[in-house]
Amino acid sequence: MNDINTLLNNLTTLICDAKDLDPETFNPDAPLVNYQLDSIDYVELMIVIKRDYQFELSADIFINNPMITARELCQQLLEGKQGK
């Protein structure tokens, strides 16, 4: 899998596109809930991560870690974890 900066940039772009945010204002250390992501946004993240990174992400990562940040999500992906 790619390095954390590449993954984080891709995730930032995806979230900013979904929520019509300026990427310059996105804070990768802020909880994703701050960006008012809904269930469809989370499903889209899971689909893109599976398609682009061949990593099956479970919804449990968001349910069990409601304050997860983009950086933490990327770190877990790179470590092969799913928040278990």
Q: Give the CATH number for residue 74.
A: 1.10.1200.10
Nearest to 66 by CA among 35, 27, 21, 22: 35
Q: How confident is the model at residue 68 (pLDDT cuts 50, 70, 90)?
A: very high
Which of 8-17, 26-35, 51-60, 65-74 bottoms out in mean pLDDT, i.e. has the lowest? 51-60
Q: Please list the residues that pair with 69 across neighbouring strands.
A: 31
- Phi first, then psi, for residue 76 (nearest 5°) are -65, -40
Number of compact structural domains in the chain? 1
CB 70 within 8 A of CB 12: yes
Mean pLDDT, residues 62-70: 94
Q: Which domain holds residue 55?
A: 4-79
Supply the pLDDT for residue 3: 83
Question: Which residue did the predictor score with more confidence, 61 or 82?
Answer: 61
The mean of the pLDDT values for the chain is: 88
